[in-house]
Amino acid sequence: MTTTSTDASTVPDASEIPRRKPSRRGQYSSWLYLVPALAVFAVFMFFPLARSFVLSFQGNDILGRPAGFVGAEHYLKLLQDSEFHAVLLRTIAFVVLTVVPVIAISLMLSLLLHQRIRGIRFFRTAFASPFAFSVATASVIFAVMFNQATGVLNGILGTFGIGRVGWITDPHIALISIALTTVWMQMGYNLLVLSAGLGSVPDDIIEAARLDGAGGLRLQRSIIIPLLTPQIFFLLVTGTINSLQSFGQIHILTRGGPQGSTTTLVYSIYEQAFAYGNSNFGYASAQAIVLLIVVVVITALQFGLVERKVFYQ
Amino acid sequence: MLLIFLVLIGFPVYFGFAGSLMGPGDINAYPAALWPRSGAVLRNFAGALDAIPLLRQWGNSVAMAGIITAGQMITSVLASFALVFLPMRWRTFWFFLLLSTMMVPVEAIIIPNYLFISDAGLINTLPALTLPFLAHGFGIFLLRQAFMSFPAELFDAARIDGCSNPRFLLRILIPLSRPTLMALGFWSFLMAWNMYFWPLLVTQTPQMQTIQIGITQLKSADNFNAGLVLAGTVLAVVPTLLLLIFGQRFIVRGLTGGAIK
């Protein structure tokens, strides 16, 4: 432990202020300001992380309380459980089905909205409005619309003579319907971010490209989209994490069904630990650790592989 | 082109509101009715308020989101102030430790947190809804970035004039970073207001549930009445819709903190 002798209570010489070495006393009072945040994180983040890890090696007593160590049993079960493999694949499929369309559509829309035409403000607010809907409100509205017998979507299809679709009751379609709901929910936010990004593209760059003869599509593809890559990358990373964590829309629309066709990793954790009076906290915790690993690995991959293509001004 | 997208994206919003005014005859019509043909039915709103304690749940949501917002602002301001201005050894380590919390998905730690709250006997209370969220890595990150652009001379000058740390914080730093604090406030409030998984786990009675959970209870009630369900949903979404319309500037700033320089 080394300390320097500058006493924080005396007025230091002005020239030495910026590079003042921390005194021991100054240290403690500095750390004091970190304590509230660190305390919350310690109790509700760091400690639970460790406990999740411990739980994943534990079994249950008859009351469903975690008890006794079972070694790597849960992890071995995960490796062999074909249902769990399906859950993982489904989770990845769900992420692709949501993140790719959201970014593609909102990119297209933000370019369309970046024009000087009448009433554009109305369009912008209207397109951003899904952002105001929480996962619960959006899912409830979609649940009403998806209803097979009486829902408005089948009602509209009926107008065109198309038979009823089992939006959330057909195991082949349910995951797509949930993805559709998720795409809608995330659209507003993606659009806000991309529009803000477009707004910060300097006019002189666009002007210069125009003078060089770039117009329309060429301008968008070679100039504007590269300049938006920081925002697109940000949306890719945050969107992937959000999709991986989707829970409310599945819980409200399908409860993981029909026939497990919408049970993703997070929903599977919920089912094992909390649904139907299950208390398989150990097995669920092993899945939670898998979730943590998946999130960290995918994020790291995105930073490692994709970020190189991002064009930072 | 824009109009096609407007219809596709705007329809659920429109239908949420229009449907909340439809009687059972219209909302269940086949082929569909796209507006309340047989007159607006305000009864849906009264019905939703009758079916579950919506006002009480509305209040629960406001209390929960308010406490979380205040908590996050306090913990973030204190931590980022120390990280940016105060002498500190291992500054980078502390910063990344606080930042790393953003990488942890809530769902990965939800079981131990639930067991902790349940062992502490806090299930179905306001502390259960709020305690785990009183600090957030994003708030610390956002404020740290804002404070970094603050001229360091101002802090040194204030110190030389005998201004104490808390005084500098309250009198100079907070007033001067109001826009960023507003952005953080909007962000925290929205995030808390919209929470679903955690409130679902730690509340048990309709009296303690937040409005997000409440409206889904409307949906799963035995006598499923779509108009009534949508009326409840409209009541739940109006505050955030107003927040979006009037606070868009701040929200964009808060949400895109990391994405836009």
pLDDT confidence of residue B165: 86
Q: Is residue A3 part of a domain?
A: no
Q: Which tens digits make up the pLDDT trace of A30-81?
A: 888 999 999 999 999 999 999 999 888 988 766 667 777 887 888 988 888 8
Q: Is residue B69 part of a domain?
A: yes
Q: Give the DSSP H or E segment for A60.
A: strand A58-60
Q: Which tens digits make up the pLDDT trace of B130-161?
A: 999 999 998 998 888 888 888 888 888 888 88
Token pair 């909007």 in the structure block, residue: B186
Q: How many domains does chain B have?
A: 1
Residue B259: phi and psi, rounded to 5, are -95, -25
Q: Give the DSSP H or E segment for A59.
A: strand A58-60
Q: Is there a single domain that holds both residue A111 and residue A94?
A: yes
Nearest beta carbon to residue A36 from set B75, B89, B113: B75
Report how far residue B203's alpha carbon sits from residue A23's, in angstroms, rounded to the nearest whole number.
47
Closest CA in chain B for residue A125: B245
> A65-97 burial by CB neighbour count: b if 16+ within 10 A, else e?
ebeeebeebbbeebeeeeebeebbebbeebbeb
Report how far residue B84's alpha carbon sits from residue A15's, in angstroms, rounded to the nearest whole number.
19
Q: How many domains does chain A have?
A: 2
Q: Is there a single domain that holds both residue A69 and residue A93?
A: no
Q: Is there a single domain that holds both residue A186 and residue A44?
A: no
Please check the confidence at residue A14 and state whether its pLDDT lies above 60: no
Residue B154: phi and psi, rounded to 5, are -60, -40
Q: Which tens digits make up the pLDDT trace of A76-110?
A: 888 888 889 999 999 999 999 999 999 999 998 88
Amino acid at A311: F
Q: Which tens digits make up the pLDDT trace of B195-252?
A: 999 999 999 898 999 999 998 888 776 556 788 888 888 988 888 888 877 777 676 6
pLDDT confidence of residue A42: 94
Q: Which of B253, B261, B236 is nearest to B17 (CA)?
A: B236
Q: Is residue A13 part of a domain?
A: no
Neighbour count for residue A227 (Cβ, 10 Å): 18
Q: Is there a single domain that holds both residue A169 and residue A207?
A: yes
Q: Is residue B36 part of a domain?
A: no
pLDDT confidence of residue B227: 82
Q: Is there a single domain that holds both residue A194 and residue A221?
A: yes
What is the distance in angstroms between the Cα of B211 and the nearest Cα belonging to chain A?
Answer: 9
Report how far residue A189's alpha carbon sits from residue A99's, in angstroms, rounded to the nearest whole number.
12
Report how far residue A48's alpha carbon sits from residue A32's, in angstroms, rounded to the nearest whole number.
23
N residues, chain B = 261
Report how far residue A188's alpha carbon sits from residue A106's, in angstroms, rounded to the nearest whole number.
8
Please check the confidence at residue A232 and state whether its pLDDT lies above 80: yes
Q: Is there a single domain that holds both residue A67 and residue A87?
A: no
Across the range B89-104, mean pLDDT stands at 88
HEC string for A256-273: CCCCCCCCCHHHHHHHHH
Query: What letter would DSSP give residue A173?
Result: T
Q: Where does residue B41 fall: left (phi above 0), alpha (psi -120 to 50 degrees), or beta otherwise?
A: beta
Residue B230: phi and psi, rounded to 5, are -65, -35
Query: What letter would DSSP give residue B34?
Result: S
Q: Is there a single domain that holds both residue A34 and residue A129?
A: no
Q: Is there a single domain that holds both residue A38 and residue A160?
A: no
Amino acid at B28: N
Query: Which residue out of A7, A9, A29, A30 would a mutagenesis test of the B interface target, given it has the greatest number of B Cβ atoms within 10 Å?
Result: A30
Q: How many CA atoms lie within 13 A of B145 on its CB side?
A: 19
Q: What is the CATH number of the domain that holds B124?
A: 1.10.3720.10
CA A105, distance to chain mean position in Å, is 17
Q: Is residue A223 part of a domain?
A: yes
B207: containing domain: 42-255
Closest CA in chain B for residue A38: B98
Q: Is residue A244 part of a domain?
A: yes
SS3 A121: helix
Nearest beta carbon to residue A134 from set B30, B135, B240: B240
Contact: B197, A132; criterion CB under 8 Å = no
Q: What pairs with residue A66 in β-bridges?
A: A60
Asked whether A235 and A190 are in contact (CB, 8 A), the reply is: yes
Q: Is there a single domain that holds both residue A259 and residue A293?
A: yes
Contact: B259, A269; criterion CB under 8 Å = no
- List chain B residues with CB under 8 Å of A66: 115
Amino acid at B139: G
Q: Is there a single domain that holds both residue A62 and residue A93?
A: no
Q: Which tens digits make up the pLDDT trace of B53-69?
A: 888 999 999 999 999 99
pLDDT confidence of residue A279: 81
Q: Is residue A117 part of a domain?
A: yes
- List chain A residues with CB under 8 Å of B75: 36-37, 40
Report how far residue A41's alpha carbon sits from residue B95's, in angstroms, rounded to the nearest whole number.
13
Q: What pairs with residue A69 in β-bridges?
A: A58
Residue A123: phi and psi, rounded to 5, are -60, -45
* DSSP H helices in B86-210: 91-100, 110-119, 126-130, 137-148, 152-160, 165-168, 174-176, 178-193, 197-202
Nearest beta carbon to residue B196 from set A154, A197, A248: A248
What is the distance in angstroms between the Cα of B91 and the nearest Cα belonging to chain A?
Answer: 10
pLDDT confidence of residue A288: 93
SS3 A224: helix
Q: Which tens digits make up the pLDDT trace of A142-159?
A: 988 888 777 788 888 877
Q: Which tens digits make up the pLDDT trace of A234-270?
A: 899 889 999 999 999 999 999 887 888 999 999 999 9
Q: Which of B10, B183, B188 is nearest to A124 (CA)?
A: B10
Report how far residue B209's alpha carbon sits from residue A307's, in angstroms, rounded to the nearest whole number.
42
HEC string for A76-120: HHHHHCHHHHHHHHHHHHHHHHHHHHHHHHHHHHHHHHCCCCCCH
CA distances, A145 to each of A156, B16, B33 (Å)? 10, 9, 12
Return all residues near A6 (Cβ < 8 A) that are at least 6 apart: A12, A16, A20, A21, A23, A26
CA B58, distance to chain mean position in Å, is 13
Q: What angle do CA B75, B76, B81 make, to 5 degrees?
A: 105
pLDDT confidence of residue A194: 87
Report how far residue A191's alpha carbon sits from residue A13's, in angstroms, rounded to the nearest whole number.
51
Q: What pairs with residue A59 in β-bridges?
A: A67
Which residues, numbered 52 to 81 in chain A, qualify as contacts with chain B under a Cβ-Cβ cut-off of 8 Å?
Answer: 52, 55, 66
Q: Is residue A242 part of a domain?
A: yes
Based on the number of CB atoms within 10 Å of its own CB, is B138 exposed (0-12), middle (13-18) or buried (19 or more)? buried
pLDDT confidence of residue B73: 95
Q: Is there a single domain that holds both residue A40 and residue A96?
A: no
Amino acid at B140: I
A63: containing domain: 24-73
Q: Is residue B33 part of a domain?
A: no
Q: How many CA atoms lie within 13 A of B114 on its CB side?
A: 24
Q: Is there a single domain that holds both residue A160 and residue A296?
A: yes
